[in-house]
Amino acid sequence: MQVRPRRNRRNTAIRGLIRETHLAAGHLVQPLFVQDGEALRTEIPSMPGQARLSIDLLIETAHEAHELGVAGVALFPALPDDEKDPRGSASTKPEGLLPRAIRALKARVPELLVITDVALDPYSSDGHDGVVIDGRIDNDETLPLLAAMALTQAEAGADIVAPSDMMDGRVGVIRSALDDAGYTEVGIGAYCAKYASAFYGPFRDALDSAPKAGDKKTYQMDPANAREALRELALDEEEGADWVMVKPGLPYLDVIALFRDSTALPVAAYHVSGEYAMLRAAAAQGWLDYESSLLESLTALRRAGADAIFSYGALDAARLLR
């Protein structure tokens, strides 16, 4: 045998020397759930280690994230049912929970990126990302609401708004609304290939935001499709997205790799709630090691081509990488 691949794996130094993919805290974004109140931490049973945090505790976690080198946080507000309505009107209140959280973060941890989600579901009494009219999710009725929501977030200080709603044309209307109001520096991180996935279950527990009727298959993508993601990519690029996301993460590595080869835009991946829950659940049984399976998952997302990764394990990974 002349050729022995194992020579390149002989020891730590050689493996480090030739490693193709690197994972650093700076590649990571920690999603966080925020709720009203003070000193309030409400654990999310289906996402062990994650909780809804009141703004004071959110700030503490944000400080820690920043100290660990995590690039940013992605915020999701948990509203009580009596603040939800069919048009998600709470999403444009300047004194609403999310704008208050954004302002507090930008005042206290200004260097940490604040990324906000643009979609109706946390605010909608129907639990859908768009407006429901006669049982259908109305695309064009939803667009101005999304633009107004993004504007409210930008006014509060969001660095990047991230439309996750999958309405057609939303990146364009949000870009125009931001530019018209002078927010030309606020970026759009488009959830570009967002699939109608069963892996979002624990997230919907966290926000109590599951659809009241039907499912999200008329707007989120069919898990069977990869070519269709290229149509979404072309549109989001044309409409001015600053980066494009694939979601979920590990079940869609092929789509991440396809995007990496098909666009010059940065590509993000979302290691979603169900992916996190699986690791935690198996670890709780003693069937998997959480720490190493988390780092392996995140490395695999990077290897497939993700520049940035949203993961509930971001803080944990950053601690391990230190």
Residues marked as catalytic:
194, 247
Q: Report if residue 30 touches ligand PBG, rule: CB under 6 A.
A: no
Instruction: Please give the single-letter amino acid code of residue 258.
Output: L
User: What is the rounded distance in angstroms from the CA atom of residue 223 to the CA atom of residue 217?
Assistant: 10
Q: Report if residue 203 touches ligand PBG, rule: CB under 6 A.
A: yes
Of 117 and 239, CB closest to ligand PBG? 117
Q: Report if residue 129 touches ligand PBG, rule: CB under 6 A.
A: yes
Of 121 and 236, CB closest to ligand PBG? 121
Of 149 and 258, CB closest to ligand PBG? 149
Query: What's the chain look like in SS3?
Result: CCCCHHHHHCCHHHHHHCCCCCCCHHHEEEEEEEECCCCCEEECCCCCCCEEEEHHHHHHHHHHHHHCCCCEEEEEECCCHHHCECCCHHHHCCCCHHHHHHHHHHHHCCCCEEEEEECCCCCECCCCCCEEECCEEEHHHHHHHHHHHHHHHHHHCCCEEEECCCCCCHHHHHHHHHHHCCCCCCEEEEEEEEECCHHHHHHHHHHCCCCCCCCCCCCCECCCCCHHHHHHHHHHHHCCCCEEEEECCHHHHHHHHHHHHHCCCCEEEEECHHHHHHHHHHHHCCCCCHHHHHHHHHHHHHHHCCCEEEECCHHHHHHHHC
Q: Report if residue 316 touches ligand PBG, rule: CB under 6 A.
A: no
Give yes or no for a contact between 102 and 114, defined as CB atoms under 8 angstroms apart.
yes
Per CB under 6 A, which region of 22-30, 37-45, 95-103, 197-205 contacts ligand PBG?
197-205
User: What is the rounded distance in angstroms from the CA atom of residue 218 to the CA atom of residue 61?
Assistant: 36
Which of 117, 126, 159, 239 contacts ligand PBG by CB under 6 A?
A: 117
Which of 75, 121, 159, 300 contacts ligand PBG by CB under 6 A?
A: 121
Cβ at position 209, least distance to ligand PBG in Å? 7
Per-position x/- string for 138-167, each x denoting binding to ligand PBG as judged by CB under 6 A, each - no binding: --------------------------xx--
Of 221 and 304, CB closest to ligand PBG? 221
Q: Report if residue 123 touches ligand PBG, rule: CB under 6 A.
A: no
Q: Report if residue 126 touches ligand PBG, rule: CB under 6 A.
A: no
Q: Report if residue 272 touches ligand PBG, rule: CB under 6 A.
A: yes
Residue with tokens 């700076």: 26
Which of 195, 200, 243, 290 contacts ligand PBG by CB under 6 A?
A: 200
Of 30 and 164, CB closest to ligand PBG? 164
- Residues in binding contact with ligand PBG, number by CB under 6 A: 12
User: What is the rounded distance in angstroms from the CA atom of residue 63 to the CA atom of residue 108?
Assistant: 8
Of 110 and 144, CB closest to ligand PBG? 144
Which of 65, 73, 113, 119 contacts ligand PBG by CB under 6 A?
A: 119
Q: Which of residues 211-250 bind ligand PBG (CB under 6 A)?
A: 216
Q: Report if residue 273 touches ligand PBG, rule: CB under 6 A.
A: yes
Cβ at position 31, least distance to ligand PBG in Å? 6
How far is C-alpha 215 from the geometric centre of its chain's CA atoms?
A: 20
Q: Which residues contribute to the site for ligand PBG (CB under 6 A)?
A: 117, 119, 121, 129, 164-165, 200, 203-204, 216, 272-273
